[in-house]
Every structure is written in structure tokens, then in C-alpha cells.
Amino acid sequence: MRYLMTTTASSAAADENLHVEMGKFVEELTASGVLLATGGLEPDGTRVTSSGDEITVTDGPFAESKDAIAGFALVEVRSKEEAIEVTRRFRRIVGDGASTIRQVFGPQ
């Protein structure tokens, strides 16, 4: 089953150590076949809203920077607990902040 893990921006500044730890973590997850895709997101973004026939395009930011989603990882695991365990390890590396995991349905 697939889970999408989204992570809000971290307050801690990324240092050399974080990069190394993160590199190892990504390598390990890739090798074990867990990590399908990962990426960072630009902080502000653009919002497109529809109301009847009206389409409105608004430039961000839309949230406090601490609430903005800064990155995502799509993982393939055998249980929700595995997804939580992977996220727990990720949080140990990046420090204070929050990640959300949601199961991804279909196409499989």
C-alpha cells in the first residue's frame, strides 16, 4: 500500500550533518524498495479556485510558513505501521515539526 507523507517546513536550519543523515536515510529507503518518489515544494505556490464558471488564480503564500507543506515522500509499505515507523525515523532526523501520512488509493 502506498502512503503520501507530507512535511511542514522545519524551524531548524539544515546543516551538514542533516544532509548526511538524510542522504543515508534516502539511500536506505530506496534500497529497501520503500521510497517511490520524493521532492521538496516551493513555499508559496499558486492557488486556482473555481466558483461556478469563474476561475480565479491567486499567488501565495496561503498559510503561516510553519504550516506550509515543504516536502513530500511517496512510500510503498506493507502496513500503516510501517509507514508510521518510516515517518518516525524521518522525524528523528529533521527535528521539530510535523509530518502527515495519508494512504494513497488507486491505481493499484
Partner 1 sequence: MTGHEETHRTVDAVWKLESARVIAGLTRMVRDVGTAEELAQDALLDALETWPVSGTPHNPGAWLMTVAKRRAVDHIRRERRRAAAHEQVARDLDRPAAEVPNDDVLRLLFLCAHPLLPAPERTALTLRLVGGLSARETARAFLTTESTITRRVAAAKRTLAEAHVGFEELAPEAIPERVASVLDVIYLVFNEGYSATAGEELLRPELCQEALRLGRLLAEVAPPNAEVYGLVALMELHAARAATRIGPNGEPVQLHLQNRGRWDRLLIDRGFAAMLRAREIGGPPGPYLLQAAIAVCHAQARRAEDTDWERIASLYAALATLSPTPVVRLNQAVAVGMAHGAKAGLDLVDTLASDHALRDYHLLPSVRGDLLERLGRHAEGARVPPRGRPREQRRGE
Quote the least distance from Cβ 82 to partner 1, whole Å.
4
Kindly state whether residue 85 participates in binding partner 1, applying the rule CB under 8 A. Answer: yes
Euclidean distance between the first and the last CA atom of the chain, given in angstroms as a whole number: 8
At which residue does the C-alpha cell 521539530 appear? 96
CA distance 22 to 107: 29
> At its nearest, how many Å lie between partner 1 and the CB of residue 79?
6
Stretch that binds partner 1, among 4-12, 39-47, 52-60, 84-92 (CB under 8 A): 84-92
Are 82 and 47 in contact by the 8 Å Cβ rule? The answer is no
Residue ranges in contact with partner 1 by CB under 8 A: 27, 30-34, 36-37, 74, 76, 78-79, 81-82, 84-86, 88, 92, 106-108
